[in-house]
Structure 1
Amino acid sequence: MTREYGPLEDIAWFAGNSVETPQIVGCKEPNEFGLYDMLGNVWEWCWDLYDPAVYGEYRVFKGGGWADDERGCLVTNRRRSHPTFRVEDLGFRVARSIK
């Protein structure tokens, strides 16, 4: 298993293949866990706080976006900002449980 969970070109949209815009979800292959678009396309807001003692309400976002180089689209990449922060390649994941 690699830190990208599969060949990045096959599973993620990034600066080298995105044509400088977000792409429709699910057009790339799923990663090794069967999940789509976990890297690249848009950074994803997370619920956890970055470091409340230092940054207060700053939240975490992960995964890299369509404007990032390949090295920016890693599972281990984590950034932070205030929840009111807005930028083109930052969003959130809508998930549902299938039972």
Structure 2
Amino acid sequence: MKLIAIKDLKQPRYFKRRLQTEKELLLTSDGNPVAILLNVESAEDPENILQSVRDARSRMALSRVREAARAADTSAMSLAEINREISATRQSRKSRR
């Protein structure tokens, strides 16, 4: 994915041309990623594209949670163990109030 700096947004023609050519750009500020820009063709529905991105993010988040569970060796917990852990956490939160 090609990079584009926030300051380049001040040059709309250059920015639009780059986006049409590259199809997707990573917007950076001081070298740090802040957004992904996607070219939208006239026949495409932007809402469908956004929903696809949201779905992909959800799948990525679920994968991270599953990986963290495997790393913490909690992926093999029984339902009873999970429920005990939830109850203990809720009790500790109540006592902090």
TM-score, normalised relative to structure 1 = 0.25
TM-score, normalised relative to structure 2 = 0.25
Question: Higher Cα Rg: structure 1 or 2?
Answer: 2
